[in-house]
Chain A
């Protein structure tokens, strides 16, 4: 029985394979708490959210400044009648005497500079003082006459009438604009969108590629994101934003079994590979045994070393899902073909994508098992899109878009030589948008 020398390597490898020894009790106490670190995807998503928030804030600030034009050179005089209705006139018109002379008594308030403490002075005028004089009056003299001491800048003056402007509205119609508090010039758009779509792959360029594609099925894909837009004209809008786009395919006919690591110890980063039209899937999960009948599965395990097909493994799937996720920055021009409550839009643009996730797995939901990743996938891509769809204005500020979109990847997904996998998709871009 012991006549020949033992294979000492195997004796030790097998003998120590599952050995466990309880470590000293105080080792754990000397291991400090680990620092909290965020994954790459989380960091990228965080940056994207930060950029989106900053753009939103910038747009809102811009809108606020536009709607509250209180700069140093205020050129408007606001007249409010009975605190119910406000009208705005151009200052030059007021000076030219467009205001009626029978508006007294009136109240004058001084709008202090936004950076200075708010101060307000009220002057009660005699009934026979013409209003246009208030705008053009020599302010120091006026203050002296009425016993006030606060400086009043004649360029920043608001006149509030205590009585209704009877008949004034009609006479000022050409120069007065009702200020109802609702912005009449809504140039900015912000909204959230989702675009479910179905992907397609072009036919293979050679026999092998065609064979591979015959065993692959495209997956339903989607794009979600936040959209910002600027209205260049009444009909033309330029849109951008940030979105997360997912594309992929199902590799059918590959049987996946788990439990290999109980029988086979490995040192390499993967044991199996699967040839696909978009590149080679490297099965980094070395617990898996992969097999198929179409000569797509390769392995580093040599036949004289082990035969995993004889091990009692558990099947966990019969196909592999190949998924790529991109962080997309689109730039889209949208033209209103029909501009009404139910409008029709024509859109076209490009999107630049950064690869943030490249995974291959089998099973679904709680039974999902990570297989590995696809080698040679480009980290960036450029896609184009064209759409024609409707825009329904729910109110003057909120609209709903429903737009069928055709999307085509202009750069190949994979940089593997001979593989020019450029999928395209048909989807529906839809979402709610807020105008301001």
Chain B
């Protein structure tokens, strides 16, 4: 596991105050984390601020990382929390009708029907979602949080979280169908 030790060396270097190691750590992980920022922020300006603020927090709290879990996962959580803080301070979640049940899509990990979709297309679709739908979809579908957890994070009820997720799925479903339909027609021509 040479990569693991290298990562630890970089962290130790950062903790000892090495600016070079800090830059190394930033260069290594910033592209992945910036993609996360774009998912949550919705536009590049906001994403850039989240990334900058998030990395400052990462460096400030680096000594608290215990080397027991995934370092990338630890950084990702900081970035997501930073995005949530900014979201909470900027947007007011307009209430929608609460619903109790959400129809879960059938779990089928082997479904590769949409494997041809480009990551950038998917990212654009998420970025185009209204903020309240985008947040809930990211936290539920991508990060894996429960509606109860999301409700606590965003300060909304579980029902609101479910409603927003349901609406987000509908919108994304349509976009995906349109995009894949267009793609297939183009291939068939």
Which residues 18-40 of A have a CB within 8 angstroms of B? Answer: 18-24, 27-28, 30-39
Contacts A9-B105, A12-B122, A37-B15 given; does A269 touch B113 at CB 8 Å = no
What's the least CB distance linking A321 to chain B, in Å? 14
Dominant SS at the B interface? helix
Residue contact B31 to A270, C-beta cutoff 8 Å = no
Residue contact B30 to A6, C-beta cutoff 8 Å = no
Contacts A7-B106, A370-B67 given; does A22 touch B123 at CB 8 Å = no
Q: Give bound CA distance, A6 to B105, whole Å.
A: 8
Could you say which of B81-89, B93-101, B177-185 contacts chain A? B177-185
| B52 neighbours in A (Cβ, 8 Å) | 27, 30-31
Residue contact A8 to B173, C-beta cutoff 8 Å = yes
User: Is A316 close to B, CB under 8 A?
Assistant: yes
User: Is A395 close to B, CB under 8 A?
Assistant: no
Q: Give bound CA distance, A83 to B119, whole Å.
A: 93
Residue contact A8 to B176, C-beta cutoff 8 Å = yes
User: Is A308 close to B, CB under 8 A?
Assistant: no
Residue contact A32 to B56, C-beta cutoff 8 Å = yes
Partner of A22, one of B34, B55, B109, B141: B34
Q: Which residue of B lies closest to A9 (CB)?
A: B141
Which residues 90-127 of B have a CB within 8 angstroms of A? Answer: 105-109, 111, 113-115, 117, 119-120, 122-123, 126
| B181 neighbours in A (Cβ, 8 Å) | 2
User: Which of the four size classes fits the interface of chain B?
Assistant: 35 or more
Q: Give bound CA distance, A13 to B37, whole Å.
A: 15
User: Is A1 close to B, CB under 8 A?
Assistant: yes
Give per-residue flags for B139-150: 1 if the beta carbon is below 8 A from chain A beta carbons, else 0: 011111100000
User: Is B163 close to A, CB under 8 A?
Assistant: no
| A28 neighbours in B (Cβ, 8 Å) | 23, 26-27, 30
Contacts A24-B48, A31-B56 given; does A16 touch B119 at CB 8 Å = yes
What's the least CB distance linking B105 to chain A, in Å? 4
Partner of B39, one of A7, A10, A16, A37: A16
Contacts A31-B55, A33-B17, A261-B70 given; does A16 touch B32 at CB 8 Å = no
User: Is B4 close to A, CB under 8 A?
Assistant: yes
| A13 neighbours in B (Cβ, 8 Å) | 141-142
Q: Which residue of A lies closest to B16 (CB)?
A: A36
User: Is A295 close to B, CB under 8 A?
Assistant: no
Q: Give bound CA distance, A284 to B143, whole Å.
A: 18
Residue contact B111 to A6, C-beta cutoff 8 Å = yes
Q: Give bound CA distance, A23 to B113, whole Å.
A: 31
Residue contact B59 to A15, C-beta cutoff 8 Å = no
Q: Give bound CA distance, A19 to B122, whole Å.
A: 10
| A372 neighbours in B (Cβ, 8 Å) | 68
| A366 neighbours in B (Cβ, 8 Å) | 5
| A371 neighbours in B (Cβ, 8 Å) | 68
What's the least CB distance linking B102 to chain A, in Å? 11
Q: Which residue of A lies closest to B32 (CB)?
A: A20
User: Is A207 close to B, CB under 8 A?
Assistant: no
Residue contact B69 to A306, C-beta cutoff 8 Å = no
Residue contact B56 to A36, C-beta cutoff 8 Å = no
User: Is A364 close to B, CB under 8 A?
Assistant: no
Which residues 274-325 of A have a CB within 8 angstroms of B? Answer: 284-287, 304-306, 316
Residue contact B19 to A369, C-beta cutoff 8 Å = no
- Interface residues of B, Cβ cutoff 8 Å to A: 1, 4-5, 14-17, 19, 22-23, 26-27, 30-32, 34-35, 37-39, 44, 48, 51-52, 55-56, 59-60, 62-63, 66-70, 72-73, 105-109, 111, 113-115, 117, 119-120, 122-123, 126, 137, 140-145, 169, 172-173, 176-177, 180-181, 184
**11 more CB-based (< 8 A) A-B contacts, given A11-B111, A21-B123, A269-B69:** A6-B105, A9-B141, A12-B137, A12-B172, A15-B122, A35-B60, A36-B15, A37-B63, A39-B63, A286-B69, A369-B1
